[in-house]
Amino acid sequence: MSSEDFTPHEPRQPEAARTETAEMTGRQRLAAGLWPPRVTRAQLVVALLLFVLGLGLAIQVRSTSDDGALRGARQEDLVRILDELDDRSQRLEDEKTRLDAQRRELENSSNQAEEARKQTEERERQLGVLAGTVAAEGPGITFTVEDPLTAVEPDKLLDTIQELRAAGAEAIQVNDVRVVADSYFSGRAGAVEVDGRKITAPYRFQVIGKPQDLEPALNIPGGIVQTLEKEQATATVTRSEKIVVDALRPAERPDYARSSSQ
């Protein structure tokens, strides 16, 4: 063999080394293609649309999960669920009925309490009128007795009160003294006293009641008017739609008597 025929060759690398070199080169090329990232505007728009679409699908799946569960339920389970819903509805309806009944009861109680309060106040006012502790006004008459000869005795004035009460008088005032159930007349002609308070002529009776009943009761034949005229007194009756009785008596508390309801 000649020297020309001999050509030196480089050492041959193993096959695995050549493959590793090729693979490393490919990875490097891939890494160089991915980083730094180069994102286009179109890619961003597509990514945003995909995100919105995925979010909508997630919400839809979540909202329909219960319906899907009911679709997959057995008939026995569906019947049981319906029964439970019916029972719950019935319980709610019963509760509503009970609350409505309580509301009506409270309203009625409130109305009854208000009505009772009004009746109590009205009763108190009526008793105050009868007791002479409150002022009163209403239709009635004014009965005036002139006594120029000072001949009218206290008993004649007391008879006048009795006739007025019998005719339905509800409140009476003589001059500035309120006349009540236990009022009394004393003294003598020209020095008449009502409940210990002296009054002088003319004697002026302010009387609340029905005028059509009060006036005839005084003017009947042989009645008060004619009796007073025999004493040389002058008696006149005047009807009025508004008589004011404003003389008051102090409210007295009984010493021994108490209400039986206490």
- Render pLDDT for 100-159 as a digit per residue (tens, 0 to 9): 888 888 777 777 777 778 888 888 888 888 888 999 999 999 999 999 999 999 999 999
Interatomic CA distance for residues 30 and 22, integer angstroms: 13
Tell me whether residue 112 is in a domain: yes
Interatomic CA distance for residues 235 and 217, integer angstroms: 13
Specify the DSSP class assigned to residue 184.
Answer: -
Count CB atoms within 10 A of the CB of residue 135.
15
Rounded percentage of the chain residues whose pLDDT exceeds 90: 42
Mean pLDDT (whole number) for 35-46: 63
Tell me whether residue 5 is in a domain: no
- Render pLDDT for 66-103 as a digit per residue (tens, 0 to 9): 555 556 667 776 777 777 788 788 888 888 888 888 88
User: Quick one: 202 and 124 in the same domain?
Assistant: no
Query: Given CA atoms 15, 19, 22, 25 in this order, what sign does their dihedral have?
Result: negative
Q: Residue 81 is part of which domain span?
A: 75-131
Tell me whether residue 252 is in a domain: no
Note if the pTM is more than 0.75: no
User: Quick one: 125 and 143 in the same domain?
Assistant: no
User: Quick one: 127 and 145 in the same domain?
Assistant: no
Tell me whether residue 240 is in a domain: yes
